[in-house]
């Protein structure tokens, strides 16, 4: 990555006088190691490439793949490649990076032991994992936890062994490490902190079989990944007589020049003038730009760099910046810790209120603001406790990008300040985020600053009276509503075609699920078929809600809350046979908790055979239509609320939308079903039905608004049809109906005009879309259990189908079960003897 950045910087500054040859050890050009783990979630090697198409040919760069430098002759100024070819040089830049450190423990070179560094490493791990059941990662740092996440995703029982007393010891403090460990263990990864690896036991077949730890534990393993840190690749420098540090690294000065004036070193192989070897991409990029300046007649210097970090590990947000450990003299700490929610925040400040550093675990939403404030050295614009407390606890004041001074560093990868971003908009004429990225390179490194960058650009454009584009993410300039129209009008049925024709890059965890929802809303096939499966969120991926201990919940649809005694018996028998926790919810359904991945098809086979179907509790879709008993039983009821609730739920079941949808039908004005707190609610009157919309009962409850009164059945259904389809077409990603209605220009009057008076002339289209949904609805779970290919994903372990995951554990409570808490002794259901162990045979022709 650093080598490629050097080439780009050299080209940018005018490299016409230089003939450039690149000796590359790997069989491919530079690729993105920061996002290497995305390879396991479907990102291809080509998508990870960092070399733009035609870049090398356009600039006459000679790239030699698979031919690393083998020797340097400083006197003759030549480099000999492994192929034997000799290359002369006027300037030599070493960007040899680092190599993974593998502790010299017995058995470290056994079959099944890997490092986690290159695409080839990942390919080997992926292949070996097909025959493995238990994996261990040696090292609990950034890369180690990413490796653990990859093993867990491949279905392996996963352990992390960390010699330090906590995970990510360099980045987070003791409190942050404890919060991180709790969150990761809740996801089913076993953490062994404060323990070293003493030996890898090797079986008779030469394969790794056990791992002995310094605390006396022995783990049964058949795959081991070493991620215990890296060491600078300085062998070439040593052999050629260049100065190296006592603990490794090619010694360089502030210009990144080595002890030989014709040789420079950049990135992880270099020991900077401040005595540090930097293992992050941002310092490497700064070194690359420094040398590019030097070689093109300019002057540059590298004297140190920001080592702030923000990432998501196994779904857990982790960030640290500045003096995260509070080592500055006289510093003070402000800490917020909520172990129940898995959130830990610490700010290190001076007595005067200057932010020195911080740690964020479980909620890193404020990182984009806090890091630049820290780097700026300015006094905080608010008391520090208001910056860590949640809204419910302290109602913190709103602080945004406007609080940052112009010299605040926004992008540390490319050393871009807020002032440079503003100048790109005001002086260079950049009218959107992509243009600012191209102009300043901000946001093109690790990507952690993109959110703040977008805010600054949009604020600056708005201040200049320019209409700000509201693209879905950096890969699409279009809004979600615009993408919906594009997909519908052009008949697009795949994410790949959409991003090729209307976007850039390979997509992200924002646009992929959003587009998946759009495709599902337009009835473009089963969500687990083909490319669509890779776009889904975790819950949709397995058609079930993931719970805190790695188990899943099963929620069959019970329209209107109406269920026969036979149906109740079936659910009860299934819950009993599988040992599941059962609960009657506020939405008039019965939830069953504690199922493992491989049990889901077995459970749903019995439910489907009994006439049940998916309740879509896992999807951004209609959840329930709650009801009272109405006029059928209640002496106050004036309409059949149960019948109407059932009709609505069956009509809109499976309807994918920007966010979840909830509804209710009350049989009279007494409102026992609480219809006015739902996305759309119906209340019976003596002459028809009143329709309320835009009510939510979440973190910010909102009372629904009366859209129309005394509607007959046909008009009611038609109005709801259009309301839902208009919402699906125009709402933003993850936007509930309440904020959608509130931000709508013209408000409720505009909504009435559109869906009741057809002011935009789109009602026929909305009607047709809903009719298509009603006619093409298919129960996702019935379709899944009838398809052997879809069933293949529902296994706890890739090569041991039917084997329960021993990391998913429970304890008894109130005659049922609940997930075992961190540090609590729990048992898998099978071990506890709570399940009968039915099987579902899957055959393929």
Q: Are strands 581-584 and 590-595 parallel, antiparallel or unpaired?
A: antiparallel
Are 75 and 186 members of one domain? no
Distance CA 682, CA 689 (A): 6
Structure tokens, 217: 């534990």
Joined tokens for residue 419:
């002032």
449 annotated binding-site participant: no
Please check whether residues 507 and 532 belong to one and the same domain: yes
Name the residue among 143, 130, 150 with its Cα closest to residue 229. 143
Contact status, residue 306 vs residue 409, Cβ threshold 8 Å = yes
Burial status of residue 603 (CB atoms within 10 A of its CB: 0-12, 13-18, 19 or more):
buried
Sheet of strand 208-213, all strands in order from the earlier edge strand to the far edge:
197-202, 208-213, 218-220
413 is in an annotated binding site: no
Flag whether 665 is in a domain: no
Domain range for 19 is: 2-99+232-295
Number of other CB atoms surrounding residue 699 within 10 Å: 7
Contact between 2 and 266 (Cβ < 8 Å): yes
- In this structure, the answer to whether residues 171 and 106 fall within a common structural domain is yes
Element (H, E) at 24: strand 21-24
Position 681 in a domain? no
Asked, for residue 388, whether it belongs to a domain, the answer is no
Q: Are residues 111 and 208 in the same domain?
A: yes
Q: How would you classify residue 805: left for phi > 0, otherwise alpha for psi between -120 and 50, otherwise beta?
A: beta
Query: Is the alpha carbon torsion for 813, 815, 817, 818 positive or negative?
Result: negative
**Regions of the chain with pLDDT less than 70:** 315, 391-401, 403, 445-448, 467-469, 538, 548, 697-700, 796-805, 823, 829-845
Specify the pLDDT at position 108. 94
Residue 677, Ramachandran bin (φ over 0: left; ψ between -120 and 50: alpha; else beta): alpha
Instruction: Identify the domain boundary among 228, 247, 266.
Output: 228
Q: Is position 396 within any domain?
A: no
Say if residue 134 is in the same domain as residue 120.
yes
Q: Are 239 and 92 part of one and the same domain?
A: yes
Asked whether residue 561 is assigned to any structural domain, the reply reads: no
CB count within 10 Å of CB 775 equals 8
Could you tell me if 94 and 187 lie in one domain?
A: no
At 700 the pLDDT is: 63
Contact yes or no for 30/23 (Cβ under 8 A): no
Within this chain, do residues 135 and 88 fall inside the same structural domain, yes or no?
Answer: no
Run of H or E residues at 487: helix 480-490
Residue 634 in marked binding region: yes
Q: What is the pLDDT of residue 163?
A: 92
Please state the domain count of the chain. Answer: 3
Within 8 A by CB and 6+ apart from 318, the residues are: 168, 171, 172, 176, 180, 309, 310, 311, 312, 360, 361, 364
Cα 428–Cα 429–Cα 431 angle in degrees, nearest 5? 130
In this prediction, residue 394 carries a pLDDT of 44
In a domain, 116, yes or no: yes
Helices (H) and strands (E) in the chain, counts: 28, 37
DSSP state of 391: H
Judge if 52 and 108 occupy the same domain. no
Task: Mark out the alpha helices in 79-226 (DSSP H runs).
Answer: 119-129, 142-153, 174-186
Region of residue 831 (phi > 0: left; psi between -120 and 50: alpha; otherwise: beta): alpha
Spatial CA neighbour of 675 closest among 560, 557, 521: 560
pTM for the whole thing? 0.57
DSSP, collapsed to helix, strand or coil, labels residue 555 as coil
In a shared domain, residues 218 and 106: yes
pLDDT value of position 842 = 43
Pick the last residue of a domain from 488, 519, 536: 536
**The domain that contains 211 carries what CATH number?**
3.50.50.60
374 is in an annotated binding site: no
User: Does 73 map to a domain?
Assistant: yes
Q: Are 217 and 115 within one domain? A: yes
Among 195, 202, 203, 191, which residue's Cα sits nearest to residue 108? 202
Beta-carbon contacts of residue 465 (< 8 Å; ≥ 6 apart): none
Q: Assess if residue 844 is contained within a domain.
A: no
With beta carbons less than 8 A apart as the criterion, state whether 829 and 594 touch: yes
Residues 89 and 139 reside in one and the same domain: no
Give the domain-ending residue among 251, 279, 295: 295
The first and second tokens of residue 481, run together, are: 């509503």
**pLDDT score, position 834:** 47
């Amino acid at each position: 990555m650093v080598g490629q950045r050097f080439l780009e910087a050299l080209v940018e500054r005018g490299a016409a006088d230089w003939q450039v040859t690149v000796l590359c050890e790997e069989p491919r050009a530079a690729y993105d190691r920061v996002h290497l783990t995305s390879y396991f979630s479907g990102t291809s090697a080509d998508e990870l490439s960092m070399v733009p198409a035609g870049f090398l040919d356009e600039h006459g760069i000679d790239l030699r793949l698979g031919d690393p430098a083998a020797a340097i002759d400083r006197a003759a100024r030549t480099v000999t490649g492994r192929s034997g070819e000799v290359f002369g040089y006027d300037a030599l830049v070493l960007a040899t990076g680092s190599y993974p450190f593998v502790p010299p423990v017995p058995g470290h070179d056994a079959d099944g032991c890997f490092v986690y560094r290159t695409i080839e490493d990942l390919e080997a791990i992926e292949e070996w994992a097909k025959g493995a059941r238990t994996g261990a990662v040696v090292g609990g740092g950034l890369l180690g936890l990413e490796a653990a996440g990859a093993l867990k995703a491949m279905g392996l029982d996963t352990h992390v062994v960390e010699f330090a007393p906590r995970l990510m010891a360099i980045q987070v403090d003791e409190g942050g490490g404890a919060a991180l460990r709790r969150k990761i263990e809740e996801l089913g990864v076993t953490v062994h902190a404060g323990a070293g690896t003493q030996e890898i036991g090797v079986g008779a077949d030469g394969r790794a079989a056990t791992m002995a730890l310094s605390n006396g534990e022995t783990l049964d393993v058949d795959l081991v990944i070493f991620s215990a840190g890296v060491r600078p690749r300085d062998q070439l420098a040593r052999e050629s007589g260049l100065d190296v540090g006592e603990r490794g690294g090619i010694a360089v000065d502030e210009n990144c020049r080595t002890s030989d004036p014709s040789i420079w070193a950049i990135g992880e192989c270099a020991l900077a003038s401040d005595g540090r070897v930097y293992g992050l991409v941002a310092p490497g990029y700064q070194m690359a730009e420094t040398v590019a300046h030097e070689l093109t007649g300019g002057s540059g210097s590298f004297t140190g760099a920001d080592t702030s970090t923000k990432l998501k590990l196994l779904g857990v947000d982790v960030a640290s910046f500045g003096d995260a450990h509070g080592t500055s003299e006289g510093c003070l700490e402000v800490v917020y810790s909520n172990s129940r929610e898995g959130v830990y925040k610490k700010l290190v400040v001076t007595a005067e209120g200057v932010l020195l550093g911080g740690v964020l675990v479980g909620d890193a939403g404020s990182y984009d603001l806090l890091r630049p404030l820290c780097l700026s050295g300015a006094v905080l614009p608010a008391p520090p406790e208001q910056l860590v407390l949640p809204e419910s606890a302290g109602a913190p004041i709103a602080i945004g990008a406007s609080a940052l001074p112009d010299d605040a560093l926004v992008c540390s990868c490319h050393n871009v300040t807020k002032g440079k971003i503003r100048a790109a908009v005001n002086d260079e004429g950049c009218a959107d985020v992509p243009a600012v990225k191209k102009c300043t390179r901000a946001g093109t490194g690790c990507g952690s600053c993109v959110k703040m960058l977008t805010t600054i650009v949009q604020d600056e454009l708005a201040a200049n009276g320019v209409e700000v584009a509201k693209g879905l993410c950096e890969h699409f300039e279009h809004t979600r509503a615009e993408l919906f129209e594009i997909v519908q009008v052009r008949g697009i049925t795949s994410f790949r075609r959409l991003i090729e024709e209307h976007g850039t890059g390979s997509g992200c965890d924002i646009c992929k699920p959003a587009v998946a929802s759009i495709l599902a809303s337009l009835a473009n096939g089963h969500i687990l078929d083909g490319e669509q499966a890779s776009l889904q969120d975790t819950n949709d991926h397995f058609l079930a809600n993931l719970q805190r201990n790695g188990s899943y919940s099963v929620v069959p649809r019970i329209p209107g809350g109406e269920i026969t005694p036979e149906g109740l018996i079936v659910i009860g028998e299934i819950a009993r046979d599988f040992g599941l926790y059962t609960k009657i919810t506020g939405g008039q359904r019965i939830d069953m908790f504690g199922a493992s991945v491989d049990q889901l098809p077995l459970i749903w086979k019995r439910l489907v055979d009994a006439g049940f179907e998916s309740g879509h509790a896992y999807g951004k879709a209609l959840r329930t239509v709650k009801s009272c008993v109405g006029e059928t039983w209640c002496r106050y009821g004036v309409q059949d609320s149960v019948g109407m609730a059932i009709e609505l739920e069956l009509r809109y079941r499976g309807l994918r939308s920007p966010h979840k949808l909830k509804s209710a039908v009350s049989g009279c004005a007494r409102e026992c079903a609480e219809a006015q707190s739902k996305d759309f609610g119906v209340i019976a009157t003596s002459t028809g039905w009143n329709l309320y919309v835009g009510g939510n009962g979440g973190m910010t409850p909102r009372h629904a608004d009366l859209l129309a009164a005394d509607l007959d059945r046909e008009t009611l259904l038609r109005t709801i049809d259009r309301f839902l389809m208009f919402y699906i077409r125009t709402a933003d990603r993850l936007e509930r109906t309440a904020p959608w209605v509130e931000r709508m220009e013209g408000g409720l009057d505009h909504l009435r005009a559109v869906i009741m008076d057809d002011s935009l002339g789109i009602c026929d289209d909305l009607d047709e879309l809903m009719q298509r949904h009603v006619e093409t609805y298919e129960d996702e779970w019935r379709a899944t259990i009838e398809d052997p290919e879809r069933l293949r994903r529902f296994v706890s372990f890739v090569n041991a189908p039917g084997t329960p995951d021993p990391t998913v554990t429970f304890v008894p409570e109130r005659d049922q079960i609940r997930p075992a808490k961190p540090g609590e002794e729990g048992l898998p259901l099978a071990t506890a003897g709570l399940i009968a162990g039915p099987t579902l045979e899957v055959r393929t022709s």
